[in-house]
Amino acid sequence: MIIYKYYLKVTDIQTILMPKGAEILSAGIQANNICIWASVNPEIELEGRVFQIIGIGHGEYEPRLTEFIGTVFASAYVWHIFEVVK
Protein backbone atom coordinates (compact mmCIF):
# COMPACT_ATOMS: atom_id res chain seq x y z
CA MET A 1 0.00 0.00 0.00
CA ILE A 2 1.06 3.57 -0.68
CA ILE A 3 -0.45 6.97 0.16
CA TYR A 4 -1.64 9.11 -2.76
CA LYS A 5 -2.91 12.68 -2.74
CA TYR A 6 -5.94 13.68 -4.80
CA TYR A 7 -7.00 17.26 -5.54
CA LEU A 8 -10.66 18.24 -5.21
CA LYS A 9 -12.26 21.13 -7.05
CA VAL A 10 -14.46 23.58 -5.18
CA THR A 11 -17.64 22.23 -6.74
CA ASP A 12 -20.66 20.40 -5.37
CA ILE A 13 -20.16 16.90 -6.81
CA GLN A 14 -17.15 15.36 -8.53
CA THR A 15 -15.76 11.97 -9.41
CA ILE A 16 -12.15 11.05 -8.69
CA LEU A 17 -10.48 7.99 -10.19
CA MET A 18 -8.56 5.91 -7.67
CA PRO A 19 -7.64 2.24 -7.26
CA LYS A 20 -10.49 0.01 -6.08
CA GLY A 21 -10.49 -0.43 -2.32
CA ALA A 22 -8.65 2.84 -1.65
CA GLU A 23 -9.02 3.90 1.98
CA ILE A 24 -9.58 7.63 2.47
CA LEU A 25 -7.31 8.79 5.31
CA SER A 26 -7.93 12.53 5.62
CA ALA A 27 -8.84 15.81 3.96
CA GLY A 28 -7.01 19.11 4.19
CA ILE A 29 -5.67 22.20 2.49
CA GLN A 30 -2.25 22.20 0.85
CA ALA A 31 -0.99 25.22 -1.12
CA ASN A 32 -4.55 26.60 -1.30
CA ASN A 33 -5.90 23.34 -2.76
CA ILE A 34 -8.44 21.02 -1.17
CA CYS A 35 -6.86 17.58 -1.02
CA ILE A 36 -7.70 14.12 0.21
CA TRP A 37 -5.14 11.48 1.02
CA ALA A 38 -5.81 7.80 0.53
CA SER A 39 -4.02 4.53 1.14
CA VAL A 40 -4.03 2.72 -2.22
CA ASN A 41 -2.65 -0.25 -4.05
CA PRO A 42 -1.53 1.36 -7.34
CA GLU A 43 -1.56 -2.01 -9.13
CA ILE A 44 -5.35 -2.37 -8.73
CA GLU A 45 -7.71 -1.17 -11.47
CA LEU A 46 -9.25 2.28 -11.11
CA GLU A 47 -12.80 3.12 -10.14
CA GLY A 48 -14.68 6.39 -9.90
CA ARG A 49 -15.39 7.62 -6.37
CA VAL A 50 -17.88 10.45 -5.91
CA PHE A 51 -17.18 13.31 -3.50
CA GLN A 52 -19.37 16.19 -2.39
CA ILE A 53 -18.13 19.52 -1.02
CA ILE A 54 -20.53 21.59 1.06
CA GLY A 55 -19.86 25.07 2.38
CA ILE A 56 -21.31 26.40 5.63
CA GLY A 57 -24.99 27.19 5.05
CA HIS A 58 -24.83 26.07 1.41
CA GLY A 59 -25.93 22.84 -0.22
CA GLU A 60 -27.52 19.79 1.28
CA TYR A 61 -26.40 16.23 1.75
CA GLU A 62 -28.14 12.96 2.48
CA PRO A 63 -26.66 11.42 5.67
CA ARG A 64 -27.74 7.90 4.70
CA LEU A 65 -25.98 8.18 1.34
CA THR A 66 -22.77 9.95 2.33
CA GLU A 67 -19.77 9.34 4.56
CA PHE A 68 -18.11 12.32 6.22
CA ILE A 69 -14.42 12.64 5.31
CA GLY A 70 -13.43 15.86 7.05
CA THR A 71 -13.66 19.63 7.32
CA VAL A 72 -11.12 21.94 5.72
CA PHE A 73 -10.43 25.61 6.43
CA ALA A 74 -9.00 28.12 3.95
CA SER A 75 -9.01 31.81 4.86
CA ALA A 76 -12.65 32.73 5.51
CA TYR A 77 -13.99 29.55 3.88
CA VAL A 78 -15.00 26.30 5.56
CA TRP A 79 -15.84 23.22 3.51
CA HIS A 80 -17.13 19.84 4.58
CA ILE A 81 -16.03 16.89 2.46
CA PHE A 82 -18.28 13.84 2.03
CA GLU A 83 -17.99 10.70 -0.06
CA VAL A 84 -21.22 9.65 -1.73
CA VAL A 85 -21.77 5.96 -0.98
CA LYS A 86 -24.63 3.88 -2.31
pLDDT at 4: 98
Mean pLDDT across the chain: 94
Q: Are 82 and 54 in contact (CB under 8 A)?
A: yes
pLDDT tens digits along 54-73? 988 877 788 889 999 999 99
Cβ-contact 72, 78 below 8 angstroms: yes
Question: 17-28 pLDDT, tens per residue?
Answer: 999 999 999 999
pLDDT, average across residues 38-59:
93
Extents of the domains making up the chain: 2-84
Residue 86 above 80 pLDDT? no
Instruction: Provide the pLDDT for residue 61.
Output: 80
Which of these, 22, 21, 12, 18, lies nearest to 66 by C-alpha position? 12
Ramachandran sector of residue 64 (left: φ over 0; alpha: ψ -120 to 50; beta: rest): alpha
